[in-house]
């Protein structure tokens, strides 16, 4: 049974019950009840077709929809490293995540650049400079709060009460990265990256009275990876790839001067 007013009140009470230290002087990112999309780019410095997609993604820094209608992540895969240039931001875990999508879609191939929007392959990404619009579907509220320098707590209050099991996923992002590529398909090119995933966590949540809670820690050594840093967090049903709700925001924002 759905009762939006009751759900909003329950969420407010849960937040009010948290220790004051978790509410004062620390960061908080929170979605609305409508779905915020997770936008994933699979890319590589060893792929000559990827720079236009990365340029488009970097342009979303200025989008009024950023962190409201969508939250981005850029996964650098490692399967092009054999071409002569090792992407310093690549990780086999990111390649396996892309393969997991391919298995889910019963697709025989993976490729770069590939855009995935809320767990579905997205082909029309280049048609708009401001990124995807919200579909308006009410799915519940996801909120994350810092409870220390690198310690975070998450609460997901789904629109429809259930005792389902959930997982929280947190991606620490680096931006303003510049790489001078000296070999491979992009030899002698200078590449720029934003929203690059430098730390990815997946933690089980505990569900009680229809509300899921979880805690995670970020790797402090990764905060110096780029000129900017951000956090994208999404929640899924346990064992599934498709996000239910997403939130995030800047930890160190771009300089607009």
**Secondary element (H or E) of residue 101:** helix 92-105
Bridge partners for 37 per DSSP: 70
CA dist 73 and 61 (Å) reads: 12
| pLDDT per residue as tens digits for the range 30-56 | 999 999 999 999 999 999 999 999 999
What is the separation of C-alpha 52 from the centre of its chain, rounded to a whole number of angstroms? 20
> How close are the terminal C-alpha atoms of the chain, in Å?
49
**pLDDT given at position 23:** 39
Q: How confident is the model at residue 85 (pLDDT cuts 50, 70, 90)?
A: very high
- Decide if pLDDT at 4 tops 80: no
Three-state SS at 256: coil
**pLDDT given at position 171:** 97
CA dist 11 and 20 (Å) reads: 16
| pLDDT per residue as tens digits for the range 54-78 | 999 999 999 999 999 999 999 999 9
Q: How confident is the model at residue 1 (pLDDT cuts 50, 70, 90)?
A: very low
Q: In the CATH hierarchy, which fold is given to the domain comprising 4-9+29-251? A: Immunoglobulin-like (2.60.40)
Q: Which of 89-98, 125-134, 155-164 has the highest mean pLDDT?
A: 89-98
Question: Tokens at residue 118, please?
Answer: 């809320």
Q: How confident is the model at residue 126 (pLDDT cuts 50, 70, 90)?
A: confident
| pLDDT per residue as tens digits for the range 194-222 | 999 999 999 999 999 999 999 999 887 77
Question: Tokens at residue 191, please?
Answer: 């590449």
Pairing, β 140-146 against β 120-121: unpaired
The answer to whether 131 and 64 are in contact (CB under 8 A) is no
CA dist 198 and 229 (Å) reads: 10
Closest of 76, 74, 41, 80 to residue 186, by C-alpha: 80
pTM, 2 dp: 0.89
């Amino acid at each position: 049974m759905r009762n939006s007013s009751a759900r909003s009140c329950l969420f407010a009470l849960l937040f009010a019950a948290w220790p004051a230290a978790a509410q004062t002087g620390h960061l908080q990112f929170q979605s609305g009840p409508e779905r915020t999309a997770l936008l994933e780019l699979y890319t590589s410095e060893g792929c000559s077709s990827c720079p236009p997609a990365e340029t488009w993604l970097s342009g979303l820094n200025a989008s009024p929809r950023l962190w409201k209608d969508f939250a981005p992540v850029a996964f650098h895969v490692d399967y092009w490293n054999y071409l002569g240039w090792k992407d310093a931001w690549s990780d086999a875990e990111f390649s396996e995540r892309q393969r997991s999508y391919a298995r889910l879609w019963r697709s025989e191939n993976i490729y770069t650049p590939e855009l995935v929007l809320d767990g579905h392959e997205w082909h029309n990404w280049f048609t708009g400079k401001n990124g995807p619009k919200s579909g308006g579907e009410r799915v519940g509220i996801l909120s994350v709060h810092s409870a220390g320098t690198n310690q975070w707590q998450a609460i997901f209050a789904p629109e429809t009460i259930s005792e389902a099991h959930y997982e929280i996923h947190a991606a620490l992002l680096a931006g303003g990265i510049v790489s001078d590529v000296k070999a491979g398909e992009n030899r002698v090119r200078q590449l720029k990256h934003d929203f690059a995933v430098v730390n990815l966590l997946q933690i089980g949540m505990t569900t009680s009275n229809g509300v899921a809670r979880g805690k995670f820690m970020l790797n402090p050594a990764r905060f110096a990876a780029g000129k900017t840093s951000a956090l994208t967090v999404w929640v899924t049903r346990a064992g599934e790839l498709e996000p239910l709700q997403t939130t995030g925001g800047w930890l160190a924002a771009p300089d607009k001067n």
